[in-house]
Structure 1
């Protein structure tokens, strides 16, 4: 269990997360990296084999098909790395325990994409739309905890020591969605001895 309320973001498709301190590689990123390395080693091996056979001819020309493969894999590699750096991620909420109408800050990266409209960023708390406070930035968004549906007054019906852990979901103006599972613990506003 993460300490100090720090929760790891769940990222979708081709991302790298940390699992018990070790990086966990997802299929899309690994495939692009492997393809890039494989085609470049193939090109180097081909050039070395041709050079070793006829060193007097100097450095050999790489066959055009192999040069095309290395160029395409390099383009895919660079595109994948560039897009990986612009994904929205969530890292933590502060405070980790809150009640209805209390302000909470969610921290992360790329929460407002470059050139994106901050006002179109959406925050969901346990699937319920939350109201943003102020203007969201790329690193943090402040929101107000929404009321509990079907409860008079909207107070979440959980005591502080049995607060309900809920997911925080942020959808950016670019349509990227980042989820921080079980990040916020909701409780009644009139807690005692906390």
Structure 2
């Protein structure tokens, strides 16, 4: 198994909104993919690091998962017939055996894949790690927020609001955010998302379509 073109696909083909798909195609042409950025509410400040962040006293600070990740695993995204294969690369923490890895990022592309899930991995013919199955459901839910007008200040405010609720948030641009929360919080987050969509602030979708 050895995909010849492994690209970080931060915006997916799968989301229902046509605007998302158009935005993806445009960024595929540029070939520019940033690293993941996330936020999470915290009562105390963890050790500063790059990557995932938590909210503390009005600031955004890293969470431990960001500094504990030690590899990138690639996930094949279902595409339309005859379309080129698209891959989403997520930071993970590998198990001592190297046969599994825990996801340390919020998927922005794949469905039924969540922060904290444990996946089986193998090395492709080119050496890249590729996920083959989910072996442990981490118990988290994923949501995605899409803002048609790329207003990064407005979307950052949305990120802060959901961070204060207890969500981990994966950011890409003024268009898209990915949210992760545990199941106990999922309904409250869904209610707030529904209210925000009805108010015209954004549109949203859920990344969890089934249980593992």
TM-score (norm 2): 0.25
Structure holding more helix per residue: 1
TM-score (norm 1): 0.26
